[in-house]
Amino acid sequence: MQAHKAGSAVNTVLLAMAVGLSLFSLPVKADGTGDGAAPATDYNDYVQSIYSSSNGLPCGEANAIAQTNDGVLWIGTYAGLYRYNGREFRWVDNYESVKNVNCLYVDEEGRLWIGTNDNGLSIVIREEVVNVLDQSSGLPSDSVRSIVRSSDGYYYVGTTSRM
């Protein structure tokens, strides 16, 4: 019984010493110089380009932006869909089901999902529309507002009527 009490007392003293030493330690920066704070990020090092109707994006208003696996940026606007390859904007007017765009989504397989204001949902693979979902195929409304994939693998499409 006495040995247990002595061991317990030693543990208590060691714990008190560890806490006491931590109170007197000084924080050190990641670079080893002082207050423990991480170095500040200088956002001036990032390249910024603002696009509007005056310098490239003809519509000037983006409702959604998504990037496919090939690096192409897709910009959804009320005037339609635009493709940006890093150098130039191109209006994509050959998709009959895409006239004005509310939302965009790129899934894990690289498919581009395009939610429109009045033509439902178009799914594009390698820049070709492969499927169109609208009210006639069971979508609650032809006005799609959001597209997400949940952790269970299901895709959820939010419309002006319901999901």
pLDDT, tens digit, 9 for 90 and up, residues 10-54:
444 444 444 444 444 444 445 545 555 566 777 777 777 777 777
Tell whether 56 is covered by a domain: no
In a domain, 34, yes or no: no
- Range of the structural domain that residue 137 is part of: 64-159
Residue 53 lies in a domain: no
Q: How far apart are alpha carbons 8 and 113 in whole angstroms?
A: 64
Element (H, E) at 7: helix 2-24
Is the CA virtual torsion 74, 77, 82, 88 positive or negative? negative
In a domain, 48, yes or no: no
| In the predicted structure, residue 138 carries a pLDDT above the cut 90 | yes
Residue 98 lies in a domain: yes
- β-strand partners of 105: 113
Is 121 inside a domain boundary? yes
Report how far residue 52's alpha carbon sits from residue 157's, in angstroms, rounded to the nearest whole number. Answer: 29
Amino acid at 147: I
Kindly state the tokens that stand for 131: 């499927």
In contact, 103 and 119? CB cutoff 8 Å:
no
Does residue 43 form part of some domain? no
Domain count, the chain: 1
- Do the domain assignments include residue 32? no
pLDDT (0 to 100) of residue 163 = 83
Q: In the structure encoding, which two tokens stand for residue 77, read together?
A: 């606007």
Model-level pTM?
A: 0.69
